[in-house]
Structure 1
Amino acid sequence: MSRPKPSASVEGFALIDVLVGLALVGVISSLMIVFLGQARTMMRIQTTTEMQIEADAASRFLETAISGAEPLPLSKSSPENVVYLSGDSARIEFNGVQAIGFRSSALREIAISLGSGDSDGQAGNALAIVQKLRRGSETGKFVDSEPVRLITGVTAVKFEYLDGSAGATSWSASWSAQRRLPSAVRFTISVVRDGATYSSSGFARLDLANTPAQRSN
C-alpha cells in the first residue's frame, strides 16, 4: 500500500522580498544618520549656550561687585598715597560689601585677577576673587582668604577705567588715582572650552565715584 506524498512545500524568499527588505534597511539607516546628526548638533548648541551663559554670569557678578566699590583706602595705601581703587588691564582691587552668609554681609577688600585653575594647572587659567578679611577692629590687620574661582578656562581679561573728573571721557588701561574712584569700569572676558572661544563684556558704573564720602580714614 503506497503512502500519500505530503502536500505542503517549503517556499523560499522571492527576489522582490529581498529587495524590499534591503530598501527598508536603507531607509531606516538614513533616518538614523539624520537623527544622530541632529542630536549632535543639538548637543553642540546646548554646550555652546551653557558656556556662554557661564561667561555672562561671571560678567554680571563682576558688574555688581565693582559697581559697589567703596571710597575707602586699600591696605597698601600710605598716608602720602591714599588709593581707593587700584587696577590695570588684568587685575582690579577695591573695597566693597560682600555677602558672608544668609542675609549677612561685611566690608571686604576684594582683588580680582587671573590665576591657575587648579594646583596642577590642568584646568587652565581661572578668573578668581580673593577677599582680604579684617581681623578684629585693628586698622591694617588683614587676612587673605582662599581664591574663589569665578570661571575657568579664561585666556584673557581686560579691564579699562573711565575718569569722569573735570569732564574727562577717555578710558585708560590702569587706575591709581589718589582718593578717587573711577566713574566706570568696563571689561571683557575671553574663555576657551573644548576648542571653542566665548567672550563676554561688562560695564560697571561706580555709584560712589563722586560722593562727598571720599575722604581718607
Structure 2
Amino acid sequence: MVRRARRSDAGFTLFEALVGVALMGLILAALGAVTAQWLPGWNRGLLRVQRNEQLAVALDRLSADLAAAEYVAARRNDRTPLFEGDDGAVIFVRPALGPNTAPGLEFVRVSERSDATGTMLVRMRAPFVLLPIGDLALDRIPFADPVVLLRAPYRLTFSYRAETGGWKSSWRNQGRLPSGVRFSISDDRDDHGVVVASATRLHADMMAPLSEPPSQDASPPAGAASGAK
C-alpha cells in the first residue's frame, strides 16, 4: 500500500510529458495559422487608419488656412488682393496664427518641396509687409517655419472656383479671391486617380483697406493744437 501511494505522488510519467508537449505544439501551430491569416489584414487596417488620420490633418490645416484668407493688397498703390496659386502651390494673406505670434497679418505659402525622402507638401509663413510692385517681389518674401503637411506617396493638387462656377487650375491676377479652393489628393502607388477630394469656401470678398502707419516725424495737420495752454 505504501509503494502504490508513492507511485501516485511521483508526478507525470515520460509518456504523459510527451503527450503534453505534443498538445502544446498543436495549440501553438493552430494559433500561428490563425495569426498568419488575420495579421496582414490587421496591419492593412492599421495603415489605413494612419493614412486617413494623416490626410484628415492635412485637409483640416489647409481648410482652416484658406478659409481665413484676407482680401488684402500686398503691394503699394494696388488694390488687387494677394492670392496666387496653381495646381501645386498657393500664396495668400491671413491673420497671424500661433501662440507666440503678434497680432496682425502674415503671408502663407503652401507648396511642394523635395528632399532625400521624396516629395512633400510644406506650409511656410512670413510676417506681412508691403511689397514693391513687380512679379519677382513674392520671391523675396522670407518664408520660414516649415511644417510638413503631406509626404510621398501622396500628392495634392489645388483648383480654384471662379465666379462662373467652374474650377481653374491657376489663379493669378484675377482682381479678387476665388470663391472656393478644392484639394485633390492622389496616391502615386495607385493608378485609380484621386484618393481624397475636399473643398473649402473663402468668405472674404471685400477689400480690406490697408495703409502704412504714419511716420513719427510727420507734422500735425493744419489747425491742430500745438500744445496745452
The answer to whether the superposition gives a TM-score over 0.5 is yes
- Computed over aligned residues only, the root mean square deviation of the Cα atoms, in angstroms, reads 3.3
Rounded to whole Å, the distance in 2 between the matches of 1:170 and 1:100 is 34
Following TM superposition, by how much is the alpha carbon of 1:183 offset from its aligned partner in structure 2, in angstroms? 0.6
Q: 1:49 to 1:104 in 2, by over 3 A?
A: farther
**Alignment partner, residue 158 of structure 1:** 157
Which one of the candidate residues 133, 153, 159 is aligned to 2:127? 133
Q: 1:79 to 1:191 in 2, by over 3 A?
A: farther
1:30-41 correspondence runs (5 A): 30-41=30-41
Is 2:113 aligned against 1:115?
yes
Q: 1:103 to 1:12 in 2, by over 3 A?
A: closer
Is 2:86 aligned against 1:95?
no
Q: 1:12 to 1:185 in 2, by over 3 A?
A: closer
**Structure 1 runs of 4+ with >6 Å offset:** 17-20
Q: Contact 2:80 / 2:176 at 8 angstroms: preserved in 1? A: no
Q: 1:144 to 1:103 in 2, by over 3 A?
A: closer
Following TM superposition, by how much is the alpha carbon of 1:39 offset from its aligned partner in structure 2, in angstroms? 3.4
Q: 1:24 to 1:155 in 2, by over 3 A?
A: closer
Is 2:52 aligned against 1:56?
no
Over the matched positions of the two proteins, sequence identity in percent amounts to 20
Which structure 2 residue ranges, 5 or more long, are not aligned?
1-6, 8-12, 133-140, 212-229
Q: 1:72 to 1:98 in 2, by over 3 A?
A: same
Q: Deviations over 1:81-112 (max 9, x none)?
A: 83421111111111012322169654111111
Q: Contact 1:162 / 1:169 at 8 angstroms: preserved in 2? A: yes
Amino acid at match of 2:155: A
Q: Contact 2:155 / 2:188 at 8 angstroms: preserved in 1? A: no
**Alignment partner, residue 167 of structure 2:** 171
Greater share of strand: 1
Rounded to whole Å, the distance in 2 between the matches of 1:101 and 1:156 is 30
Following TM superposition, by how much is the alpha carbon of 1:178 offset from its aligned partner in structure 2, in angstroms? 3.8
Rounded to whole Å, the distance in 2 between the matches of 1:150 and 1:43 is 23
Is 2:183 aligned against 1:187?
yes
Q: 1:101 to 1:128 in 2, by over 3 A?
A: same
What secondary structure, in the 3-state scheme, does the structure 2 residue paired with 1:100 have?
coil
Q: Contact 1:111 / 1:129 at 8 angstroms: preserved in 2? A: yes
Amino acid at match of 2:107: E
What secondary structure, in the 3-state scheme, does the structure 2 residue paired with 1:46 have?
helix
Q: 1:43 to 1:185 in 2, by over 3 A?
A: same
Following TM superposition, by how much is the alpha carbon of 1:33 offset from its aligned partner in structure 2, in angstroms? 2.2
* TM-score, scaled to structure 2: 0.68
What secondary structure, in the 3-state scheme, does the structure 1 residue paired with 2:98 have?
strand
* TM-score, scaled to structure 1: 0.71
Which one of the candidate residues 179, 197, 201 is aligned to 1:201? 197
